[in-house]
Amino acid sequence: MASSSKKVKTYHFHSEWEEQYFFTEVKGKNVCLLCNTSVSVAKKGNIERHHTTVHSNFEKSFPLHSVARKEKLKQLKNQLIGQQSIFLRTVDKNKAATEASYRVSQIIAQKKKPYEDGEMIKQAFLEAADLLFANFRNKDEILSAIKSMQLSANTVMRRVEVMSNDIFLQLRTDLDNCVYFSLQLDESTDVVETAQMAVFVRMVFSDFTIKEDLLKFIPLKGYTTGQGVVFI
């Protein structure tokens, strides 16, 4: 015996419900503009029941099709848009602060500076901004954005580790995807006079693009001469 599957009925929000029941649709949810309560299923009966039960006195003050009702609806929708805009601005501000923290951390790593310098850089930002933007109307907003950057030593260390791991994964992906590759070796010494062998890789991909990158530094346990490396 064949089993029959019951088809799930889909309900859609109707624009006329805004003025009738003061409901609107926000990201697929049906939200009451009067109390911010959401109704999961967009059935007219559910929305009408909420409006007549929870907001029973609303019809007396704002009769249907009246100018006062239309103005109230416009006011509440503008308030909702304003609340959403504040939320988006907050999200954008946090995202920008995080990205700025990564960029400063990248500079600290590139310049081989201590992770503790992050706090010093942040303080320098604040002192400079206090003077540079003294006559700007949004000076407080600018200072607040700088203060929101996370640049403690531990944070900078984590940012550098994340970027380092990302570079490693990108390089490994390139090595997996390349068709041909070649290695080039070069010898140099670091700041403490330790001999290092730098391994560079050149990769050729199926679309004939070429990419070069530093693969690894290998410390050499010995000393170098003009003819080569003498190991101890």
pLDDT digits (tens, 9 = 90+) for 60-119: 778 887 888 888 888 888 887 777 666 666 667 788 899 999 999 999 999 999 999 999
- Compute the distance between CA of residue 12 and CA of residue 28 in angstroms, rounded to an integer: 9
Cα separations in angstroms, 193 against 23, 187, 197, 219, 220: 73, 12, 13, 11, 11
Tokens of 62: 């704002």
- Compute the distance between CA of residue 141 and CA of residue 219 in angstroms, rounded to an integer: 49
Cα–Cα nearest to 224, from 197, 201, 198: 197
CB 34 within 8 A of CB 41: no
CB atoms within 10 A of CB 62: 18
Which helix (H) or strand (E) segment holds residue 138: the answer is: none
pLDDT in tens, 132-141: 999 998 899 8
- pLDDT value at position 23? 86
- pLDDT value at position 231? 47
CB 119 within 8 A of CB 152: yes
H helices within 111-210, ranges in order?
117-132, 139-147, 153-177
Cα–Cα nearest to 142, from 128, 156, 153, 152: 128
pTM (2 d.p.): 0.55
State the pLDDT confidence band at 158, using cuts at 50, 70 and 90.
Answer: very high
Exposed, middle or buried by CB within 10 Å (0-12, 13-18, 19+), for 21?
buried
State the pLDDT confidence band at 35, using cuts at 50, 70 and 90.
Answer: confident
**pLDDT of 232 over the 60 cut:** no
Maximum alpha-carbon separation in the chain: 99
